[in-house]
Structure 1
Amino acid sequence: MNRFAKNINQFTEKTGRLVSWLSLLLVILIGLDVVLRYALNWSSSANQELEWHLFATLFLLGSAYALKHDKHVRVDVFYSRFSETKKAWVNLIGTIIFLIPFCLVVIQTSIPFVIDAWKIAESSPEPGGLPHRFIIKSTIPIGASLLLIQAISEVLTALSYLLNPANK
């Protein structure tokens, strides 16, 4: 169980580090967009769409990495005061009841959405917008799948902690 969770964590670490480079690209693109807009009075729909495509990709594909590093949103007012055992129970129950079903719903509902986008080779409706919008839509089920895989690791880690008295 621990070995499987470790393998998942290594995979998430690698994908997260790879995806994190998108943040640098996004910062450069936004900086360039600001300079072009204010210094040269030039703006582009394609630039703005690329910014939100990069942000969406970073968010969707980086969510598993954020979960792995415990950087996700939670009510820390209570959680931070819990013992390690209570934290493991909260992580286990919350992941099983909320996160895993959420991931499964997103995967199930987004796949037809993505297939339809690929069938019509969906592109931006904006004049001068980006083509191939179906590619960005594909990151929805991929991101949810990565998050699901990391959620499984979180369940295994919490179970391992709760079932092995030596870990406490």
Structure 2
Amino acid sequence: MGKALRLFVRTVDSFNLWVGRFAMNLLYVMGAIMVYAICSRLFLGQPVNWVMEMSQFLLAAYYLLGGAYSFQLDAHVRMDLFYGRLSPRRRAMTDVFTILFVLFYLGVLIYGGLSSTEYAWSFNQKNYTSWAPPMWPIKAIMTFGIFLMLLQAISALIKDVAIVRGKPIA
């Protein structure tokens, strides 16, 4: 594999590692928000109306920003009836074939995410709740997470092709 492809793989992998580790900490933020809501209700007698929505937004960000990291670690769920018995080269060949479907799917998701984010930005879309937060920030984060997943899928494709060719990228 060429130097440019190796650099791409290393850059994508290191960036997604950093983003994934950052996303892990969003659970602590979500927990702190929930504790604040409980304390506000119990000790001050004032319920907070934005907590559930904010925790949903943080969970969506956690899930989508951590998706590429999970993909990088090969931690996604897969049907392993025959795959585990294959040699590393045959696994890579299988992955090269199946990753094409993943790339198509992620491309469609990015198209929809960009369209939805642009709509939310253009029309100042707000959620239909009493808090009524703008929707474009979470939609932009979700689209960015899908984009990172696409980059990680391309990185995985490059690594699998290298394995098939007998020259793995470390």
TM-score (norm 2): 0.85
1:3-152 alignment, distance < 5 Å: 3-36=7-40, 42-96=46-100, 98-127=101-130, 129-152=131-154
Whether the 8 Å CA contact 2:20–2:69 is kept in 1: the answer is: yes
Structure 1 position 10, deviation (Å): 1.0
Deviation >4 Å, runs of 4+: 34-42
Whole-angstrom distance in 1 between the partners of 2:96 and 2:15: 21
Q: Which structure 2 segments of 5+ residues have no match?
A: none
Contact 1:19 1:62 in 2 (8 A): yes
Number of residue pairs the alignment of both structures matches: 165
- 1:90-129 per-residue CA deviation (whole Å, 9 max, x = no partner) reads 2221111x210011001112212111111122222111x2
Per the alignment, in what secondary structure is the counterpart of residue 66 of structure 2? helix
> TM-score, with normalisation over the residues of structure 1?
0.86
Higher helix proportion, which one? 1
- In percent, how many aligned pairs have the same letter? 24
Gaps of 5+ in 1: none
Partners of 1:8 and 1:149 within 8 A in 2: yes
Q: Contact between 2:40 and 2:48, CA under 8 Å: does it hold in 1?
A: no
Between the aligned partners of 1:35 and 1:78, the Cα distance in structure 2 is 51
